[in-house]
Structure 1
Amino acid sequence: MSRTIGVMAMEHIAVGLVEDNQLVGAKRVFPEAESEYDSLAEMPAEQIAQGIAAQIHAVAAGEGVEAIGVGFPGVISGGVVEDSPNLQQMKGQRLGEQLTALLAEKGLSAPVFILNDADAIAAGIAATRGQLGSFVRVWALGSGVGFGRYPLAEGVWENGHSVVTLDPKETFCRCGGTGHLEGIMGRRAMRLRFLDLEPEEVFEGAREGDARCAEFVKFWHRALAAATANSVHAGGPGKFFISGPYAKFIEPHLLDIYLQEMVKMSPLQGSSFEIVPTSDETAIIGAGVSAAHSAAEKE
């Protein structure tokens, strides 16, 4: 039975012990005053690394582990955070090496694997459903928009930055790109678009018949359908899971209608959407399971 530690660093840091594809014991959260959004956005890079290491050490509780997996937002390669638009202070950080060194100082020696946060969610969905042999794709809707897939494959897979509109005025994506999905669906982007309303108020306004809000909510869904259609045309049809704090505002029937309008070739039809509960636990398990697989491949 593998014994790994999984870490999810998105809106906050959550860490737990993973055995047999399950979370064992309670998770640990940093900062302790858990926030749903942006707890790490203003935190210095060094403090983020130290916070992750401290929670890993606490979860290990003096016992050895086979591997440590860390789900982190951005473009990840070889343990390096090459770019992270929503945690810009982490760009270029050699997070894998930093954590390995910090943990060694605490007496914990185990291989550390860094993966994209949405990939960790996808692995967690596969593990908790007994579908580790299946192809899983997931959209993670929060401060930004993540796209995860399991099993891991070569490539960047930053589908949250898919171009879904050619309107040159669509410049709300934090990476600076024009027409991106995240520039429409991400929390930060919605706050910039509606300076007088919080995102939750936009969806409430749409339900109450506000024309401006209702039109945007349709645009919001159409954007996700467009990005999904791009994924279908590249990787084939199938089920797409939707997770994250803003998954609760998804109207699946709207997505189905828009996707059917965009995907017309018969071999590529038949995709579906499933909203999954947002939880740190799923991502922690996914990070731990991914670390176990990566460690086994290195042997």
Structure 2
Amino acid sequence: MAKIIGVTLAERVQAALVVDHKLSGPLQCFPDDGGEDDGALIEMPTDDLVKMLCEQITCAAKGATDISAVGVALPGYIRNGVVEDSPNLPQLKGARIAELLTLKLAEHGLSNVAVNVMNDADGMAAGLAATRQKLDRLIRVWTLGIGIGYGRYPFIEGAWEGGHSVVSLDDKERFCGCGGRGHVEGIMGHRAMRLRFLDMEPEEVFEAANSPNHPDKRCLEFKRLWHKALAAATATEIHQEGAGKFFITGFNVRFLDLPMLKDYLQQMVKMSPLQSYSLEIVKDDAETRVIGSAVSAEQAAARG
């Protein structure tokens, strides 16, 4: 069975050896203190980041030299092994990350290893497909975090930057990390919410909106906008690719009112052949993402 290293890179780096679509060893993490250090990776120069990734990959390999592929999932617009843009890790913009990793891994004794780099949301979609034995199905997933990720499995060429779907024509909607106007990330992203409510944290906004006796009007209006934005982006994907399963994950899934989302979505998708979609909230765990990055690398190697 092929031995593949799966890696995810977001707020932290996590890597593990994957065999037969299952973890075959512990997760290697950086930072490894178990706490949150949002600035550790953002402040790391590209060369240092590549070096650290190789160290984590080498540790995950556990001395094996017969690693056939390495899959790396990270936030950004990735094409042909190049990070063409990454608002969350700006130092990687323009980096030929697959080539850099291939050269550095050879220095660590892992030569002739196929390196595949993908968007982290696509890695999550592949992980859900693998862990649920649905590798023959279309899987789409929204990740609600610092930004908004849209993942799709199986892989096909395209930008697939669903988190930057335009869901508003309001000139004031300029909170997206990429600088674009009216994007779903500019409404739903954690960073965007903090910019919008400078006097309140996102948790406080939704707590005030959900108050049973005296909901705050401003916060309640935003809660509705937040759900309409996700419904609009989902409806767009349904109209473009058809109905099917949508998973929703990420640390801000805690704010999701599923009945409200379904109600808005029903108002937006009216063609009967497109109404057989379904929505499911799933836990955002590192194991699924690591397995997904490994599965994607395995399939990319098979495609040649």
- What band does the TM-score fall into relative to the shorter chain? over 0.9
Report what 2:269 is aligned to. 263
Report what 1:60 is aligned to. 61
Equivalent position SS for 2:26: strand
The answer to whether the 8 A contact 1:256-1:272 is kept is no
Q: Which of 75, 80, 83 lines up with 2:82 in the alignment?
A: 80
User: Quick one: percent identity of the two aligned structures?
Assistant: 54
The answer to whether the 8 A contact 1:8-1:70 is kept is yes
Deviation at 1:136, TM superposition (A): 0.2
Report what 1:216 is aligned to. 222
CA–CA distance in structure 2, aligned partners of residues 37 and 259 of structure 1: 33
Deviation at 1:44, TM superposition (A): 2.1
Deviation at 1:210, TM superposition (A): 2.0
Equivalent position SS for 1:126: helix
Report what 2:254 is aligned to. 248
Report what 1:107 is aligned to. 109
The answer to whether the 8 A contact 1:38-1:143 is kept is no
Structure 2 unaligned regions, length at least 5: none
Match status 1:276 vs 2:277? no
Alignment of 1:187-198 (within 5 A): 187-198=190-201
Letter in structure 1 aligned against 2:110: L
Deviation at 1:177, TM superposition (A): 0.3
Equivalent position SS for 1:50: helix
Residue-by-residue CA offset, 1:121-180 (whole Å, 9 max, x unaligned):
000000000111111000011110110010001111001000000001000001010000
Deviation at 1:270, TM superposition (A): 2.3
TM-score of the superposition, structure 2-length normalised? 0.95
TM-score of the superposition, structure 1-length normalised? 0.97
Equivalent position SS for 1:25: coil
CA–CA distance in structure 1, aligned partners of residues 199 and 26 of structure 2: 39
Letter in structure 2 aligned against 1:255: L
Equivalent position SS for 1:170: coil
Alignment of 1:154-193 (within 5 A): 154-193=157-196
Residue-by-residue CA offset, 1:66-108 (whole Å, 9 max, x unaligned):
1000001111111100011111111000100111111111111
CA–CA distance in structure 2, aligned partners of residues 169 and 48 of structure 1: 36
Q: Report the count of equivalent residues.
A: 298
Letter in structure 2 aligned against 1:81: V
CA–CA distance in structure 2, aligned partners of residues 242 and 113 of structure 1: 25
CA–CA distance in structure 1, aligned partners of residues 158 and 93 of structure 2: 18
Alignment of 1:114-133 (within 5 A): 114-133=117-136
Report what 1:94 is aligned to. 96
Deviation at 1:293, TM superposition (A): 1.0
Residue-by-residue CA offset, 1:166-211 (whole Å, 9 max, x unaligned):
0010000010100000001111101100111111221222222222
CA–CA distance in structure 2, aligned partners of residues 201 and 27 of structure 1: 33
CA–CA distance in structure 1, aligned partners of residues 187 and 10 of structure 2: 19
Residue-by-residue CA offset, 1:229-285 (whole Å, 9 max, x unaligned):
110110001111011111122111111100011111111112221011011110000
